[in-house]
Amino acid sequence: MDIMKAMSVFVSVVDEGSLTAAASERGISPTMAGNYVQALERRLGTSLLTRTTRRQHLTEFGKTYYERCVEILGLVREADALALHVHAAPKGRLRITAPSTFGTERLMPALAKYLELNPGVELDVVLTDTVVDLVEEGFEAAIRIGSPRESGLISRPLAPYRMMICASPSYLAKRAEPQSPAELLGHNCLTFSYSSRSEWRSARSEWPLVGPNGEVRVQIESRVLVDSAQGLRRAALAGMGVVMLPEVLLAEDINAGRLIRLLPEFEPLARPLNLIYLRDRRITPKLRSFIDFVEQRFRR
């Protein structure tokens, strides 16, 4: 049995909703399509589909196996595309999106080198903390904080997004510097107000930290919520309270003494950072060049 062919037919059966529709889409007979699925089930020793006269359903194992087949077939197509385009020069407009702070502080400076390496590529960059739909809004790739949950996406992990807790000298002159995570509860903690389309919109009023004895979650109180990382930074510089923000945004202020890092033994839980793109999108030379550049520049 051609295992890749069988996987491909199985995925078509699930996507099209029936053996007949899948057979028509692939140019084979319904009997042949059924034979491929049955051969897979014999090979695996378990059922992938439950069938009635009117409908079919994936078994619990079938759901997992389907997802892996989609991933494997996508990687095969990607490898084929890479071979076809290995000698083609990247060119054309590339539309990408990234979170506001990461995009401003890390991605945009790096893209100067990317454009130098790929003179035929034009960039259309959207920096937003809103989770966008790649298909609806025409993006070829996105960098996202958090773990993508949508189906149909390929995710490449990058270096985790690290955070820091800081306050200004003027604020700490009025309030004693916290010596333990629990003491944060007595401080005004400036917090980020997430949009309704953000993965973090339901985050509770607590900061997860990792210390010498593992993870702790600290309850916080705040009189100020801001939907901008730069706005929170400015509020902290003005002495309005304690802030937890990305390391890339605070490093210069800490080095210059404008902000003081708090609780250095307790590091805020780093957030996963991923490069994502559509699973079924043909990997063009320009997209391949961007994927390779981002993975090398921001690899885990």
Q: How confident is the model at residue 281 (pLDDT cuts 50, 70, 90)?
A: low
Tell me the average pLDDT across 282-288. Answer: 87
Q: Is the pLDDT of residue 199 over 50?
A: yes
Q: How confident is the model at residue 202 (pLDDT cuts 50, 70, 90)?
A: very low
Q: Is the pLDDT of residue 201 over 60?
A: no
Q: How confident is the model at residue 148 (pLDDT cuts 50, 70, 90)?
A: confident
Q: Which structural domain range is residue 155 located in?
A: 92-159+272-297
252-278 pLDDT per residue, tens? 999 999 999 999 999 998 889 999 998
Q: Is the pLDDT of residue 136 over 60?
A: yes
One domain for residues 253 and 281: no
One domain for residues 48 and 104: no
Task: Write the CATH number for 12.
Answer: 1.10.10.10
One domain for residues 265 and 167: yes
Residues 6+ apart with CB under 8 A from 107: 98, 125, 143
Q: Is the pLDDT of residue 30 over 70?
A: yes
Task: Write the CATH number for 185.
Answer: 3.40.190.290
∠ CA 136-293-83 to the nearest 5 degrees?
Answer: 80
Q: How many separate domains does the chain show? A: 3
Q: Is the pLDDT of residue 141 over 90?
A: yes
Q: Is the pLDDT of residue 198 over 90?
A: no
One domain for residues 178 and 141: no
One domain for residues 144 and 181: no
One domain for residues 155 and 278: yes
One domain for residues 72 and 214: no
One domain for residues 264 and 276: no
Tell me the average pLDDT across 55-64. Answer: 88
State if pTM tops 0.75: no
Q: How far is CA 155 from CA 13, 142, 295, in A?
A: 25, 10, 11
One domain for residues 264 and 277: no
Q: Is the pLDDT of residue 100 over 50?
A: yes
Looking at 85, 110, 137, which one is the last position of a domain? 85
199 against 13, higher pLDDT: 13
171 against 80, higher pLDDT: 171
